[in-house]
């Protein structure tokens, strides 16, 4: 189709005031690029935090005994964890699932003691699910051998123990009697966080069963491939597992992290909103100037019968063109910077001069990486077009109100 005269008119009016148009486009582009960069960073950060949280032992979701939700007691066990594990593992979206059985214990060596939550694990799957379990700095990880344990470095230092030392473990058994066992240290875990290393004591699941006289696992912890689908996965799993089991998500397990992510998101939206409002006002004022300059022109066009709706259409078309070009400039600004933050990231080790990067028992990454993807493109166009089209509305309305009778009046 041939470009209509109206559209030619709009296009050429933009070209005619090239300098103003370029400034507008640069304004939109920079604002839009800035927003893309911010969103890329915050998206990456919250993805990273979620992954860090999930991989620090919490998982994306857990299957727990139904009663656990009320009491949160470590002594509760799943009805049939083998069966439940098979069911969870059969879900396509689940990447890995691993069982846990927890128990508060006292570790003793010589005259020194340390209280800790002992976690019984399946050594075969735990390491794929838990980045803490991957941070063995001395010895090796659990390999299934009975009566062995890996402990955090802080505990090891406190107890003055090393690999191959035997720890004396005491706890309250199921019957309320004192129970005990000897555990040989096979590995020491150093995550880089002293606080986290004070909480780690992992043993084979079977050993926990034996020590506590409680058979089975207290929870199944799972990671999923795409956390965005979590809600759906959880819903269908809950239905499949039936009563007696409950599926809890990371958001329920770590509400402070979930609300932290919400706060971040709200801040980002607010900032993006403010940037876009500034862009919006800038474009609106440039467009209004463009209308005021063309007052006489519009009056003549209106006098020969052009309707207000057509004038609005022309102004909005101008906004559309500004928006499209602005979005491209925005991408030119935003894509390289988003790419930079997604690949290089921001290194917090240098910034804080610390290697202790744990926040409420989550081992977080030292380098914050942004998110990067095709989503930047539609977002750039959505931001730029919304700002420019909205900002042409008032000038357009103003143009449509110009009195056609003014065309006949001349300044003598």
- Minimum CB distance to other proteins, residue 20 (Å): 14
Pick one of 86, 112, 140, 409: the residue that binds other proteins (CB under 8 A): 409
CB 386 within 8 A of CB 32: no
Q: Which is nearer to other proteins, 11 or 277 (CB)?
A: 11
**Does residue 19 interact with other proteins by CB under 8 A?**
no
Whole-angstrom distance, CA of residue 203 vs CA of residue 138: 16
Q: Which is nearer to other proteins, 7 or 128 (CB)?
A: 7
Q: Which is nearer to other proteins, 303 or 366 (CB)?
A: 303
Q: Which is nearer to other proteins, 195 or 297 (CB)?
A: 297
**Does residue 405 interact with other proteins by CB under 8 A?**
yes
Site for other proteins in 153-172 (CB under 8 A): none
**Does residue 301 interact with other proteins by CB under 8 A?**
yes
DSSP sequence for 131-187: TTTT-EEEE----S-TTEEEEEHHHHHHHT--TTPEEEEEEE-TTSSEEEEEEEEEE
Per DSSP, helices labelled H in 294-409 are: 295-303, 308-343, 348-352, 376-400
Pick one of 66, 277, 303, 390: the residue that binds other proteins (CB under 8 A): 303
Whole-angstrom distance, CA of residue 254 vs CA of residue 54: 10
- The per-residue b/e assignment along 26-46, b for 16 or more CB within 10 angstroms, e otherwise, is ebbbbbbbbbbbbbbbbbbbb
Q: Which is nearer to other proteins, 5 or 239 (CB)?
A: 5
Whole-angstrom distance, CA of residue 28 vs CA of residue 277: 11
- Of 115-123, 163-171, 209-217, 297-305: span binding other proteins (CB under 8 A): 297-305
DSSP sequence for 63-97: EEETTHHHH--TT---S-HHHHHHHHHTSTTEEEE
**Does residue 56 interact with other proteins by CB under 8 A?**
no
**Does residue 307 interact with other proteins by CB under 8 A?**
yes
Whole-angstrom distance, CA of residue 115 vs CA of residue 53: 23
3-state DSSP helix/strand/coil % of the chain, to nearest 5: 55, 20, 25
Q: Which is nearer to other proteins, 4 or 226 (CB)?
A: 4
Q: Which is nearer to other proteins, 13 or 392 (CB)?
A: 13
Pick one of 19, 72, 228, 412: the residue that binds other proteins (CB under 8 A): 412
**Does residue 401 interact with other proteins by CB under 8 A?**
no
**Does residue 72 interact with other proteins by CB under 8 A?**
no
Interface with other proteins: number of residues (CB under 8 A): 27
| Residues found near other proteins in the complex (CB under 8 A) | 4-6, 8-9, 12-13, 15-16, 296-297, 300-307, 310, 404-405, 407-410, 412
């Amino acid at each position: 189709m041939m470009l209509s005269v109206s559209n030619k008119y709009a296009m050429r009016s933009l070209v005619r005031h090239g300098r103003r148009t370029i400034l507008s486009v640069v304004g939109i582009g920079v604002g839009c690029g800035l927003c893309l960069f911010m969103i890329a960073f915050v998206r990456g950060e919250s993805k990273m935090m979620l992954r860090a949280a999930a991989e620090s032992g919490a998982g994306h979701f857990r299957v727990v005994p139904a009663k656990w939700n009320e009491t949160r007691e470590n002594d509760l066990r799943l009805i049939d964890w083998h069966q439940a594990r098979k069911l969870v593992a059969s879900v396509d979206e689940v990447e890995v699932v691993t069982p846990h059985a927890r128990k508060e214990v006292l570790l003793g060596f010589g005259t020194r003691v340390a209280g800790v939550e002992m976690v019984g694990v399946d050594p075969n799957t735990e390491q794929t699910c838990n980045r803490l379990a991957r941070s063995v700095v001395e010895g090796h990880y659990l390999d299934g051998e009975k009566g062995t344990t890996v402990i955090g470095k802080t505990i090891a230092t406190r107890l003055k123990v090393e690999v191959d030392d035997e720890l004396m473990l005491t706890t309250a058994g199921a019957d309320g009697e004192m129970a005990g066992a000897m555990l040989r240290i096979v590995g020491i875990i150093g995550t880089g966080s002293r606080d986290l290393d004070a909480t780690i004591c992992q043993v084979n699941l079977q050993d926990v069963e034996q020590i506590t006289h409680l058979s089975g696992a207290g929870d199944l912890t799972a990671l999923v491939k795409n956390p965005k689908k979590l809600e759906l996965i959880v819903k269908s799993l809950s239905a499949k597992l039936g009563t007696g089991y409950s599926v809890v998500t990371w958001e329920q397990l770590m509400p402070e992290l979930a609300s932290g992510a919400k706060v971040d998101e709200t801040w980002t939206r607010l900032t993006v909103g403010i940037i876009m409002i500034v862009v919006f006002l800038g474009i609106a004022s440039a467009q209004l100037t463009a209308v005021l300059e063309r007052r006489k022109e519009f009056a003549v066009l209106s006098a020969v019968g052009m309707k207000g709706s057509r004038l609005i259409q022309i102004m909005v078309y101008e906004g559309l063109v500004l928006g499209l070009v602005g979005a491209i400039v925005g991408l030119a600004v935003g894509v390289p910077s988003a790419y930079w933050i997604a690949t290089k990231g921001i290194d917090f080790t240098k910034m804080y001069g610390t290697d202790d990067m744990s926040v409420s028992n989550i081992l977080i990454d030292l380098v914050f990486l942004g998110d990067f993807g095709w989503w930047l493109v539609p977002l750039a166009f959505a931001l730029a077009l919304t700002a420019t089209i909205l900002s042409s509305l008032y000038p357009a309305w103003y143009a449509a109100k110009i009195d056609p009778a003014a065309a006949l009046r001349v300044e003598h």
